[in-house]
Amino acid sequence: MVFPARTMVVGLGAVALAVSACAPAATSVEFRTVAPSDDSRATVIAQPSGAKRVDPAQKIVVTANGGQLADVTVMGPKGPMKGKISDDGTVWTAKKNNLDFGATYTVSATAVDSRGVPTTQTDQFRTVEPKDFFNGSVQPGEGTTVGVGMPITVVFDHEVKNKEEVERALVVRTPTPLVGAWSWNSGSEVQFRPKKYWPGNIDVTVDLNLKGVQGDKGVYGDQNTSTTFRVGTSMVIKVDADAHQAKVVRDGEKVRTIPVTTGKDGFETRSGTKLIVSKERTRIMDAATGGTDPNDPEYYRLEVEYAMRITYSGEFLHAAPWSVGSQGYANVSHGCVGMSTDNAAWLYDLAKVGDVVEVTGTSNEQNLGNGITVWSETWDEWLEGSKNGPVETVGPEAIAPEPSSTDTAAPDGTTPGLAPEATAPSTPIDAPSASPSVGTQQTAYRR
């Protein structure tokens, strides 16, 4: 209700005379009411807004100050957009996390103040039109099971210049939070590893929230994807070249000690933390592929069973029945970790890509890039390749990115990956043949 302005006059003389006979003559006081403004005291603010082209990664949010929202309508290229008003009625948030590229959006919102007086604000904006798009692929792939040492690798199909922003868009989700970090190998590849090995028997989800993120000038991510893989039972194989034995630890418990032989003088096995890169039931090993002349006394070509690769240059865990007499006593191999056929078969059946192999007792240090070597760097060294530093993984209750039409399933085969970039060995060691063997599994983690 709107009241008109009125004037009221009050006589005070009689009251004054009752107080004192010497009081002055009667006086009066005039009061004037003021008609309230017809303007609403509420204001409406919509973001994003304005004439400048808008980044599609932004979410539309409408806020009422000095009142509550009564109606919000957002029209996009596909019609009205859904949203939700907060419990106190002051904030409307679009349900959709990202906007379309090169699209016009119109926002119309009405708010009312405490007197019920409304105000309506209408705004319009347009999103940017990229000159190109980029996306990323994740390894391990969807549904893959890996060991506790396996890093997450994201490969982009376009050189990334805005690494800080892109890195921030990559989210790792685990059942319970843990500390890890992304580290860049190049402008098109970044890897994530926890500060310590993954816990065993957990699911890990990787969200690439790239839609609307600018990877380079005018180059934007055009989709969000989500990939879930499993970290299987924890298994760490501790190879002691001095003691000539390998201790197998599963879920924190030692389950077997295996007599082994490692590289002899001039062919020492590399010390360091490695991962099983691939598994092959049989493999032809030809020293010529490592640079050994066929006329050299150290030359060999033979078929081995239960081969588990740990470096690209040719180190394997495998059955070596010809050296059983030395296993547990002496190092006689060309760099591989040899064991009896029974022990190799047992280990092969339990092992998976990404299981950890810790080698100690040699002066030949593991070189970066020769296998999956993310654990060959200290935590501080790993962080040097990160743009945002350590992060904590997000719990499973976090909201996943919006579904995308692009499938991110793993390639055919039991393990994920691209073709590895082999590192030439510094000394000839057991090396793969040029032709593939039966049961080959391949991965492509370069670091």
Confidence check: pLDDT of 227 > 60: yes
pLDDT score at 311: 96
Q: In this predicted model, what pLDDT tens digit does every residue of 127-181 receive, in sequence order?
A: 989 999 999 999 999 999 999 999 999 999 999 999 999 999 999 999 999 999 9
Q: Strands 219-221 and 132-134: what pairing?
A: parallel
Instruction: Give the C-alpha separation, 191 to 139, whole Å.
Output: 9
Q: Which residues make up the CATH 2.60.40.3780 domain(s) of the chain? A: 43-126
More confidently predicted of 253 and 289: 253
* Other residues' Cβ atoms within 10 Å of the Cβ of residue 250: 16
Catalytic residue among 22, 158, 244, 336: 336
Q: Is pLDDT larger for residue 103 or for residue 289?
A: 103
Please give the CATH architecture assigned to the domain spanning 43-126: Sandwich (2.60)
Q: Is the pLDDT of residue 37 over 70?
A: no
* Candidate ranges 294-298, 370-374, 395-399, 436-440; pick with highest mean pLDDT: 370-374
Q: Which token pair is 428?
A: 């000839």
How far apart (Å, rounded) are the C-alpha atoms in residues 59 and 82?
A: 12
Least confident of 211-220, 357-366, 403-412: 403-412
> CA geometry: angle at 245 spanning 318 and 302, to 5°?
25
Mean pLDDT of 108-119: 93
Predicted pLDDT at 287: 80
**Residue 441 predicted with pLDDT over 50:** no
Adjacent-strand bridge partners of 189? 155, 186
Long-range contacts of the stretch 113-116 (C-beta < 8 A, 24+): 113/40, 113/41, 113/42, 113/66, 113/67, 114/41, 114/67, 115/36, 115/41
> Would the pLDDT of 112 be above 70?
yes
* Range name among 87-91, 115-119, 191-195, 288-292 with the lowest pLDDT average: 288-292
Which residue in the list 22, 158, 244, 318 is annotated as catalytic?
A: 318
What was the pLDDT predicted at 447? 64
Return the percentage of the chain with pLDDT > 70, whole number: 80
CATH 2.60.40.3710 domain extents, the chain: 133-212+226-233+380-392
Domain 133-212+226-233+380-392 in CATH 2.60.40.3710? The answer is yes
Average pLDDT, the chain: 85
| Nearest-angstrom CA–CA distance, 126 and 105 | 6
The pLDDT value recorded for residue 289 is: 79
Confirm whether 336 is a catalytic residue.
Answer: yes
pLDDT of residue 410: 32
pLDDT tens for 47-82 read 988 778 888 888 899 999 999 999 999 999 999 999
Task: Report pLDDT for 418.
Answer: 32
d(CA 233, CA 352): 9
Indicate the pLDDT class of residue 96, thresholds 50, 70 and 90: confident
Total-model pTM = 0.76
